[in-house]
Chains A and B, each alone.
Chain A
Amino acid sequence: MITLDQARMKRITAVHGWSSVVLGLLLYVVVFTGTVAVLAHEIGHWSVGGPKVTAPLEGLVDQHVRRLSREVPPRYHEDISVWHDEEGDLRIFFHAHATHPDTAEEADLGVLYELDAATGDVLARQEGFVFDDPNVATESALGAFLIDIHVNLYLGYPWGDLLVGILGLAMLAAAVSGFLMHKHLIRDMFVAERAGARLVSARDRHVLASTWSLPFAIILAFTGAFYGLAWTVTMPLITEAAFGGDEDAAAARMWEAPVAEDTRPAQMANIDYILVDSVARTPGAVYSVDLVNWGRADARVIVWRKPSDGGLFWFAHEFDGVTRAFLGQKPSLGTVPSVGGTLYDLMWPLHVGDFAGWLSKFVWVGLGGATCFVIISGLRLWVRRRSEDRLWRRYHFAILAVGWGVPLGMLLAAHAFFLSLPAGDPFFWTPAGFLIGAIASIAMAARASDASKLRRRFAILVASMLLALPLVRHFMGGLSIAEALIMSRADVLAIEILLLAIGSGMLIAMTRGAGDHRTTEPELTNST
């Protein structure tokens, strides 16, 4: 253990406290939404899950692409993306890259088809800058909302990302200083709560949770700061220093130098054979396919793959689009595997826990929840020690408003999503639901004078909304539990069980807590 003298400990404690107090509430919003966003894909799938099952991309892709390619202008053959959406339909997007008149930035312009994966029937066709319409860009407004609010707090790129990156640095400062403050790291992992000693007990809970989640908090803070700052600050700085500000030269080096152009017409290889070839080389599911320069001699087929069994990283197989020749496994950065590329690839599984299926995701959710508790308990500890100051007593109500307001807002967002499905505007109502929940929480905290009663009110509201969510989903046309069981829909069952377990667990805890002396700690009041 690192032993600090008194002067150093005082400085590190000041950094730990102030970095948390100044940015702690915003940090809590990012960590809580991130904890839920770990399951964003599964929640998105659960929220739109109908009777169709999303299969890995395989078989009969070729005939659909060839048929539809004759219906779209050849300029959109530059790039063709093929994937299965969360509703189980096949999406084929013929597009080129053009300057968007509204943003003056390069965007995808083309024709997007939505097909019934089984019959090949065209269900929908959109043309233009199709991703301007969020209904087209994303299958689940709820899944998209969970990601957007975590990634940039709904403030958009680049400012939202930048703010989240700075919050990541604040979390890194709090976590590293917290590590340095631990005098007995191993003993703190097994500290027992001391009944009756209110302040010591609250501190013990904070120390216990923080000790167990410390390595995770440091990883999360580091990778989160990386994602927030990488494209907003760090890469522009590197581009300026190494390439004199030439973004195209930097992009060519980081990703892949363009293939030598050959515009001669050519007969394309069968995509279905290429998919089979890719799976034969590395068993597992295909996520999506990119067809570059379709119909030309320089055509390339890039098969994007999820991590294989026991693998950590996403990867891609690259094939010649004319000869079907395998050109190699395409790393995410550079043209050949490298230490730098591996380091970069490592950031994603470390940040989202997406490397061992449900197990690693649930571990990440659990440790994310512990980190949320550490933030809130640390802030409450800070306020308790300054309870004689009126300003800090008000801050305690702000902690309650944010601490309960974020889960309440997210639950209201989910309810609003399902309830607005018949009206067809969930992309408006999902964030609106969150906003309503946030405003209601602030109003409740502003009017409250007794923190204990306020906390109970919040807990009842959150537990009720958790328990009601599966019912609302079911009544708005989602799969029933019986149907989900028959169809082995693990995503529907897992999310539903999670909601019911947390909701009923909260109600049980509240019922028991009423007669438990440990939870009847005197609360701060707002009366003076």
Chain B
Amino acid sequence: MIARQLAATAAAIRARPVLARWLLAGPGAVALAVATVMAAPLWLPEGTAGIDHLVWPLVLAPLAWAIACFYPLLASDPARAAGIMGVLTGVQAVLIATGFF
């Protein structure tokens, strides 16, 4: 049932590749970058000064967005890109919601 649902979603994405890529590289990339920045302090090591887990996402946020933006544009299969980005965003959202610890 779930496998059939996923296959149908993938087929729908592949049927509209241009729209799918624009959505993934636009709002999808922003959502993934926000999730990554918010989840990173929960799993990154704190370092000697106890700030590395805060500073790395603070400084590297533009890089997180750039990777999330260009990945769906360069991926050969938009459905696979949507799956990977969706899972990454979802898992990190759960981390943030539960506070990880």
Contact, CB under 8 Å: B42 / A242: yes
Name the B residues within 8 Å of A15 (CB-CB).
Answer: 25, 73
Q: Fill in one digit per residue for B48-60: 1 if any A CB lies within 8 Å of its CB, else 0.
A: 1111111111110
Q: Is A43 an interface residue (CB 8 A)?
A: no
Q: Pick the contact of B69: A173, A250, A336 (CB < 8 A).
A: A173
> Which residue of chain A is the closest to B72 with respect to CB atoms?
A11
- With both chains docked as a complex, state the minimum distance between the C-beta of A495 and any C-beta of chain B, in angstroms: 32
Q: Pick the contact of B54: A225, A253, A339 (CB < 8 A).
A: A253
Take A333-B49, A338-B49, A340-B49 as given contacts and tell me if A250 and B63 are in contact as well, using a CB distance cutoff of 8 Å.
Answer: no
Contact, CB under 8 Å: B63 / A222: yes
Name the B residues within 8 Å of A331 (CB-CB).
Answer: 49
Q: Fill in one digit per residue for B29-47: 1 if any A CB lies within 8 Å of its CB, else 0.
A: 0000010011101100001
Name the B residues within 8 Å of A230 (CB-CB).
Answer: 58-59, 61
Name the A residues within 8 Å of B50 (CB-CB).
Answer: 253, 334
Main SS at interface, chain A: helix
- With both chains docked as a complex, state the minimum distance between the C-beta of A367 and any C-beta of chain B, in angstroms: 19
Q: Is B96 an interface residue (CB 8 A)?
A: yes
CB proximity to B under 8 Å, residues A152-199: 168-169, 172-173, 176-177, 180
Contact, CB under 8 Å: B51 / A238: no
Q: Pick the contact of A341: B25, B38, B51, B70 (CB < 8 A).
A: B51
Distance between Cα atoms of A15 and B24 in the complex (Å): 13
Q: Is A417 an interface residue (CB 8 A)?
A: no
Distance between Cα atoms of A434 and B33 in the complex (Å): 37
Contact, CB under 8 Å: A340 / B42: no
Name the A residues within 8 Å of B51 (CB-CB).
Answer: 253-254, 333-334, 338, 340-341
Contact, CB under 8 Å: B61 / A229: yes
Contact, CB under 8 Å: B57 / A338: no
Q: Once A and B bind, how many residue pairs between them come within 8 Å at the CB atom?
A: 112
Q: Is B23 an interface residue (CB 8 A)?
A: no
> Which residue of chain B is the closest to A223 with respect to CB atoms?
B62
Chain B residues touching A, range: 20 to 34
Name the A residues within 8 Å of B52 (CB-CB).
Answer: 338-340
Contact, CB under 8 Å: A238 / B58: yes
- With both chains docked as a complex, state the minimum distance between the C-beta of B56 and any C-beta of chain A, in angstroms: 6
Name the B residues within 8 Å of A132 (CB-CB).
Answer: none
Contact, CB under 8 Å: B53 / A347: no
Contact, CB under 8 Å: A229 / B62: yes
Contact, CB under 8 Å: B49 / A173: no
Contact, CB under 8 Å: B34 / A333: no
Contact, CB under 8 Å: B73 / A344: no
Distance between Cα atoms of A15 and B34 in the complex (Å): 21
Contact, CB under 8 Å: B38 / A340: no
Contact, CB under 8 Å: B66 / A173: yes
- With both chains docked as a complex, state the minimum distance between the C-beta of A257 and any C-beta of chain B, in angstroms: 10
Distance between Cα atoms of A233 and B64 in the complex (Å): 14
Contact, CB under 8 Å: B73 / A340: no
Q: Pick the contact of B62: A177, A225, A242, A340 (CB < 8 A).
A: A225
CB proximity to B under 8 Å, residues A209-246: 221-222, 225-226, 229-230, 233-235, 237-238, 240-242
- With both chains docked as a complex, state the minimum distance between the C-beta of A25 and any C-beta of chain B, in angstroms: 21
Name the A residues within 8 Å of B57 (CB-CB).
Answer: 234, 238
- With both chains docked as a complex, state the minimum distance between the C-beta of A114 and any C-beta of chain B, in angstroms: 36
Distance between Cα atoms of A525 and B51 in the complex (Å): 57
Distance between Cα atoms of A237 and B40 in the complex (Å): 11
CB proximity to B under 8 Å, residues A326-351: 331, 333-341, 343-344, 347
Q: Pick the contact of A333: B53, B55, B63, B74 (CB < 8 A).
A: B55
- With both chains docked as a complex, state the minimum distance between the C-beta of B28 and any C-beta of chain A, in angstroms: 14
- With both chains docked as a complex, state the minimum distance between the C-beta of A228 and any C-beta of chain B, in angstroms: 9
Contact, CB under 8 Å: B34 / A237: yes
Name the A residues within 8 Å of B96 (CB-CB).
Answer: 241
Name the B residues within 8 Å of A172 (CB-CB).
Answer: 62, 65-66
Q: Pick the contact of B59: A226, A233, A250, A334 (CB < 8 A).
A: A226
Contact, CB under 8 Å: A235 / B66: no
Name the B residues within 8 Å of A240 (CB-CB).
Answer: 38
Q: Is A386 an interface residue (CB 8 A)?
A: no
Q: Is A12 an interface residue (CB 8 A)?
A: yes
> Which residue of chain B is the closest to A173 with respect to CB atoms?
B69
> Which residue of chain A is the closest to B51 with respect to CB atoms?
A334
- With both chains docked as a complex, state the minimum distance between the C-beta of B64 and any C-beta of chain A, in angstroms: 10
Q: Is A8 an interface residue (CB 8 A)?
A: yes
Contact, CB under 8 Å: B49 / A234: no
Name the B residues within 8 Å of A337 (CB-CB).
Answer: 48-49
Name the B residues within 8 Å of A168 (CB-CB).
Answer: 62
Chain A CB within 10 Å, residue with most, of B55, B57, B73: B55
Distance between Cα atoms of A341 and B46 in the complex (Å): 12
Contact, CB under 8 Å: A241 / B38: yes
Chain A CB within 10 Å, residue with most, of B21, B37, B38, B51: B51
- With both chains docked as a complex, state the minimum distance between the C-beta of B14 and any C-beta of chain A, in angstroms: 14
Contact, CB under 8 Å: B21 / A343: no
Distance between Cα atoms of A337 and B55 in the complex (Å): 13
Binding site for B on A (CB under 8 A): 4, 8, 11-12, 15, 168-169, 172-173, 176-177, 180, 221-222, 225-226, 229-230, 233-235, 237-238, 240-242, 250, 253-254, 331, 333-341, 343-344, 347
A-B contact pairs, 21 of them (CB 8 A): A8-B74, A11-B74, A12-B74, A15-B25, A176-B70, A180-B74, A225-B61, A225-B62, A226-B58, A230-B59, A234-B37, A238-B37, A241-B96, A250-B54, A253-B50, A253-B51, A333-B51, A334-B51, A336-B49, A340-B52, A341-B51
Task: Please give me the 4 A-B residue pairs with the lowest Cβ-Cβ distance, nearest first.
Answer: A334-B49, A340-B55, A338-B49, A340-B52
| Given pairs A338-B47, A341-B51, 13 additional interface contacts (CB within 8 A) | A168-B62, A169-B65, A173-B69, A176-B66, A176-B70, A225-B61, A229-B61, A229-B62, A233-B61, A238-B38, A334-B50, A335-B49, A338-B55
